[in-house]
Structure 1
């Protein structure tokens, strides 16, 4: 079970550029990963091993899962 969620530098920069509502949604999704690192709405990325995609009505969040950590790799507005 992962012990921490961290934002990689590029993802943190992307998060800071989001409008407030999207920013809050991304933070909510990232926080939820501590409780459930593989939620039902997470899709495996077909190109990158151990990487998952979560889509909400507002954002798309990419993250990598390891035994000890969840790394948020990217976040974008869902278009």
Structure 2
């Protein structure tokens, strides 16, 4: 069995999301994650994002580094 890494994190939005922009964010994330074999879930409530991600360690670490840079 291949190694598996997981990350659980909480973040706060720095711009307001409406239903359309939130759907766009989810779609974009799903496409990118699919391309890198990453699965998980995203929960949004009251300006907070709660996300769980899992996949190959290198892919998860790369995604996490990119998320840290994301404004």
Pairwise TM-score range, normalised by the shorter structure: 0.3 to 0.5
Give 1 or 2: higher helix fraction.
Answer: 2
User: Which has the larger Rg?
Assistant: 2
TM-score (ref. length: structure 1): 0.35
Between 1 and 2, higher relative CO (CA 8 Å, sep ≥ 6) is seen in 2
TM-score (ref. length: structure 2): 0.38
